[in-house]
Structure 1
C-alpha cells in the first residue's frame, strides 16, 4: 500500500480521543501480599492520570514514524522478539484496524512510547486499582463476569476498535479485549507452570500457583499475576498491548 495513501486515510477516519483520566486517590487490596503491606491489608494509591484508552495502532504508527529505530525489522532482539508488530503487513497496520489496540509490542517498546509522550507505564498497583472499579451502576461481580467471559471465549483474529468496556471513572477496555504491560510487571513471586511455559500464548489461560494470596477466589487477578510473572521485557504477544500513565503535578493538585 502506498505510504502517503495510508497517511491520508488517517486524516479521514473517526478520531479516538487520546485524553487521560484523572484517577482519584484511594486504597487497593492487592491480590498478593506486597512487601510493604500485611496479608489482607490495603495499599494507599496516590492520585494519577491514566490513558482513557489502550494505545491504538494509529498512535503507535505515529510513534514509529517519529522514532524509526522502533519500526518493524529495525528493533534489536534485546528489546523485542521476532513477533514484534507481527500483524502489520508492509510494516504498517491495516487501514481498517487503526483504532484497534496495538499489540505484539514489548515492554521496552511500550516504555519508549510512553516516554516519547512525556508519560510512563502505569505501576501494577495503579493498573489493578483502576481495573477493580466497576462500570457505573454495576458491582465487582460484574467485572469478574466480563473477565471470565473473555477468558473462555474464542479470541477474534482481528481486534475491534477501542471503546467497548467502560468503568465508572471513564477508563475504557481494561477488561475484555487485551492484556496490558505495566511498569513493574515482573515483581510477582509465583510457582507453577507460568514461569516454565515456553508457549506465551497458551500461558494466557494457565495461571500458576500463587504465594501469599489475599483472595484465592479472585480467579481473574490470579490469572493476570500468573501471566505477568512469566513475561520477559522483550516478549510480544497477539493480545498484549499497553496504555500510559502520568503523575499528578503540584500545579494540577493544589493543597
Structure 2
C-alpha cells in the first residue's frame, strides 16, 4: 500500500489516512495480543529486543506525541509514561525492568489514543503551510513508525522460543522470470540524482536530492542465494582470515559463529529455524539473517565487493536511457504482488529471479522487498541535510560503525519501501531480515 498525498483532495486524504491507521493497527494486533498470552507478551525473548508489550505501548505513545500533542495541540494523556516508552532513555536490555503497561492497559491506551486521533483528524488542515501538517507529513511519520515496529516485532518472533504462532501456511507463489538470468547487470557511469525532494513522506535522511557521479559498475541481477552462501560456508569461508574485515575476525572469535543465524545441521544437509519451525534450507531464496561482516566476507571470497549506497540507489532508481529518477525500480506506481514481496505475506523471501515486472531499468531484480541489502557505506546525512522533525530519528546515528541497508524486506510494508528509503544497523546485527548482493568495478574480473 502507498499513499500519494498530492494526488488526493482533502477529504480523500483524510479517508486514506484513517484506512491506513486501521490497517497498521490490525497488523500490530495480529503480531501481539491476537496470538500471545500475557506471559509471552511481557517476556523478553532476547536481550537484543524489547518485550512485545513495550513495542505495543510505544507505538501508541508515539502516536499520542505526534498526532495529538504536536499536530492537534491536545494536552498529554499519560505524561507519566513518556520516559518509559522513550527509546533513547532506556536500552532494550533494561526495558523488562521498567513499570510497563500490561497488555490490557496497553490496548486500552492505544484505543483511546486512536479515537482521539480520528476525532482530531477532521479538524486539521492538511493543505496548509505548517511543516508537520503539509501533505499530512506527520501522519506518514506515525504510520511508517508503526510499520517499522511491526517488522521489529517480527524479528522478536523469529528469536522467540516456544510453540509456533504465526500462520506460515498463507503463502502465495511469486511470478518468476522465464529462462536463465545473467549473473550481473551493467550500470553505466555518470551522474544521477540521489535522494529526494519530491516524496512528501520521505524521512529527513532521504533529503535533499543531490547529484552524485558514480563510475560504471556491474551488480548482481538478484540477491545472493542461500545455496550460493552455503557453498561459502562449506568451502571453509568462516575459517579463512583472508576474507574477513579485521573487526569481523574479532567478531568471529568472540561469537564463535560459523553459519548465518538460525541455520542448523540436519543429518548430511542443512535446515533453518523459521518462526519456531524447522524446515529444509531453501537453496533458491535470498540468504537472510547475515550480518555486514558475513556479507563482506562472502563478497571478498567471490572476488567481488558490496555495492556502495550510491551504486545501490542508482541501480534501483535511475533510468539511464531517459536520465530520470524513479520512486521504485519499475516506475512510480506503488508495490503490488506482481512487482515485489513486501508486507509480510508470505513470511519469507521469494526465490531469486522472482518479480520480472519489478525489474530496474538495467535489469536488476528484487531490489525492493525480500531482504534488506547491506551496502559498503557508513550512515551519514546527505549533503545539505536538515533534521526534521527531531534529531533522534536520523542525526544522532550519523557516524560510528553503522552500515546502510537498502530496499526493504518481505517484512517491510509497502508504505516504507521505496528506492530512497535508508535503513542502518551495526555490522554485527543478524536478527534483522537482511541479505545482500555483490558488485564489481567495470574493469574488475
Q: 1:219 to 1:102 in 2, by over 3 A?
A: closer
Paired residue for 1:115? 300
Larger relative contact order, structure 1 or 2 (CA cutoff 8 Å, min sep 6): 1
1:96-245 to 2 correspondences below 5 Å = 97-133=282-318, 140-141=326-327, 142-143=331-332, 145-146=334-335, 153-165=343-355, 166-188=359-381, 191-193=391-393, 220-221=418-419, 224-225=421-422, 227-228=423-424, 231-245=425-439
Q: Is the 8 A contact 2:219 2:307 kept in 1?
A: yes
Q: Secondary structure at the match of 1:59?
A: helix
Q: Deviations over 1:82-128 (max 9, x none)?
A: 8x623423273555611100010011110000001111000000000
Q: 1:78 aligns with which of 251, 258, 265?
A: 251
Q: Secondary structure at the match of 1:183?
A: strand
TM-score (structure 1 length as normaliser): 0.65
Larger Rg: 2
Paired residue for 2:214? 45
Q: Deviations over 1:129-155 (max 9, x none)?
A: 001047x9xx835356129x9697224
Q: Is the 8 A contact 1:144 1:220 kept in 2?
A: no
Structure 1 position 52, deviation (Å): 1.0
Q: 1:248 to 1:78 in 2, by over 3 A?
A: same
Q: Deviations over 1:193-220 (max 9, x none)?
A: 4668xxxx9xx869xxxxxxxxxxx983
- How many Å separate the matches in 2 of 1:52 and 1:187? 27
Q: 1:143 to 1:240 in 2, by over 3 A?
A: farther
Q: Secondary structure at the match of 2:363?
A: coil
Q: Secondary structure at the match of 2:305?
A: coil
Give the paired residue count: 206
Q: 1:144 to 1:116 in 2, by over 3 A?
A: farther
Paired residue for 2:227? 58
- From the two aligned structures, give the one with the greater helix fraction: 2
Q: Is the 8 A contact 1:28 1:125 kept in 2?
A: no
- Indicate the larger mover: 106-115 or 168-177: 168-177
What 5-or-longer segments of structure 1 have no aligned partner? 1-14, 207-217
Q: Secondary structure at the match of 2:219?
A: strand
Q: Is the 8 A contact 1:121 1:243 kept in 2?
A: yes
TM-score (structure 2 length as normaliser): 0.39
Q: Secondary structure at the match of 1:44?
A: strand
Q: Secondary structure at the match of 2:191?
A: strand
